[in-house]
Amino acid sequence: AQRVTQPEKLLSVFKGAPVELKCNYSYSGSPELFWYVQYSRQRLQLLLRHISRESIKGFTADLNKGETSFHLKKPFAQEEDSAMYYCALSRYNNNDMRFGAGTRLTVKP
Amino acid sequence: KAGVTQTPRYLIKTRGQQVTLSCSPISGHRSVSWYQQTPGQGLQFLFEYFSETQRNKGNFPGRFSGRQFSNSRSEMNVSTLELGDSALYLCASSLGNGYSGNTIYFGEGSWLTVV
C-alpha cells in the first residue's frame, strides 16, 4: 500500500534561513512523488514533481529511493513561502494520489 | 481557461440524508478524482474516474459513490450521511492519458456539514 509521512505538522523559520520539509514514503513499486502547496485562501496547487527535476520558487526536492524520502528544500526562505505543504505519491501511470498529513510552514520576518 | 468548478460550495445536511456534489473539470481533462479533507484524517483519496469508468478507488465505504458523464463532468454521492462525513470534498482533474506526470488541478471544494 502507498503511504506518505510528513513528520512535522508545524515548521517555523526566520526569513532568509534555510528550510527543509521532510517527507518519507512507503511503496513497493515505482512511485511518482509530488509536493503540493496551499497558500491562505487559495486552492491546492502543484509545486513540483520529482520527474521534472525542476526548481520552483527556489524550492527543490530530490527523490532518494534508498531512504524512501522526498524532502523539500529551499536555501533562503521568504515570508511569502508561508503556507501548507503536502507531499504526495501516486503509482506510476496512475492518478490515485496519496497525501501526507501536511506541514504548515511559517516564515517569520 | 476556466479552472475546476465545484458546486455547491457550502451545504448543511442532516444525518441519514444523502448528498450529491458536482464537479466540472478543466476543458479537455478526462480524469476526475475526488478527495475528502478533514482536520483529523487529512486529504484522503476517494476515487478517480476516466472516460466514465472508475479507474481507482480508495478505502471508503460503499456509501460513497461517484460517476462521470460523457462530457467528463463528475458527481459524487454520499448516502445515509453520518456526522463523521462532515468535511471538505475536493475534486481534481487532469488529462489522465496515462502519463503520470500530468498535473492535477484542484477545485476550491465543497464544504459539507452534517448535523
Report the distance separating Cα A32 and Cα A97, nearest Å: 9
B101 CA to centre of own chain: 21
Question: Rounded to an integer, what distance in angstroms lies between the CA atom of residue B27 and that of residue B3?
Answer: 8
| A37-65 pLDDT tens trace | 999 989 999 999 887 777 889 999 988 98
Q: Looking at the DSSP assignment, which residues form a beta bridge with residue B66?
A: B76
Judged by CB atoms closer than 8 Å, whether chains meet at A51 and B101 is answered as yes
Q: What is the pLDDT of residue A96?
A: 80
pLDDT of residue A16: 97
Q: Which of B65, B47, B66, B68 is nearest to B57 (CA)?
A: B47
Instruction: Nearest by CB to A96, from B42, B56, B98: name it.
Output: B56
pLDDT tens digits along A87-99: 999 876 667 888 9
| pLDDT value, residue A55 | 80
In a mutational test of the B interface, the residue from A33, A37, A94, A95 whose CB has the highest number of chain B CBs within 10 Å is A95
User: C-alpha grid cell for residue A83?
Assistant: 503556507
- Tell me the residues of A at the B interface, defined by beta carbons under 8 Å apart: 32, 43-46, 49, 51-52, 86, 90-102
What's the CA gap between A2 and B9, in Å, rounded? 30
* Residue ranges for chain B with pLDDT beneath 70: 1, 98-102
Amino acid symbol at B111: W
CB contact (8 A) between residue B58 and residue A96:
yes
Task: Please give the pLDDT value at position B101.
Answer: 54
Predicted pLDDT at A24: 97
- Residues of B at the A interface (Cβ-Cβ below 8 Å)? 3, 31, 33, 35, 42-45, 48, 50, 55-58, 90, 92, 94, 96, 98-109
Q: Which of B43, B101, B108 sits opposite A99 (nearest CB)?
A: B43
Identify the CA nearest to B105 among candidates A33, A28, A67, A42. Answer: A42
Arithmetic mean of pLDDT, A56-78: 93
